Amino acid sequence: LWGLSAGGGLMLIIFLASQGGMGGGDVKLAALLGFWLGFKGAVMALLLGFVSGALVGVVLILLGLRRRQDPLPFAPFLNTGALITVFWGGALAEWYLTLIGW
């Protein structure tokens, strides 16, 4: 339930703050992924989804394929973050903690 709250809660805040920039389906998907992955997994999946979405968005803008105002579906990036978390989440977390010296 903590994962559901973390995933769905954070996305709900973004949904409300963006005033239509984020869809309700993304909120539901993040809540479901949080329920499935747990709190730590939800945080990691969201972080990976945000980073991958931002990188793809920047590349598309630089290539001239999208403008900054154009919508970009977020669900594929959430799903990508969840898959990376499922298969390599532990190794990524361990690598990151070693990187920051913790």
pLDDT in tens, 12-27: 999 999 887 888 999 9
Within 13 Å and on the Cβ side, how many CA atoms surround 66? 14
Contact 73, 29 (CB under 8 A): no
The model's pLDDT over 28-76, given as tens digits with 9 standing for 90+, comes to 999 999 999 999 999 999 999 999 999 999 999 999 999 998 999 999 9
- Chain CA centroid to CA 51, Å: 7
- Model confidence band, residue 9 (pLDDT cutoffs 50, 70, 90): very high
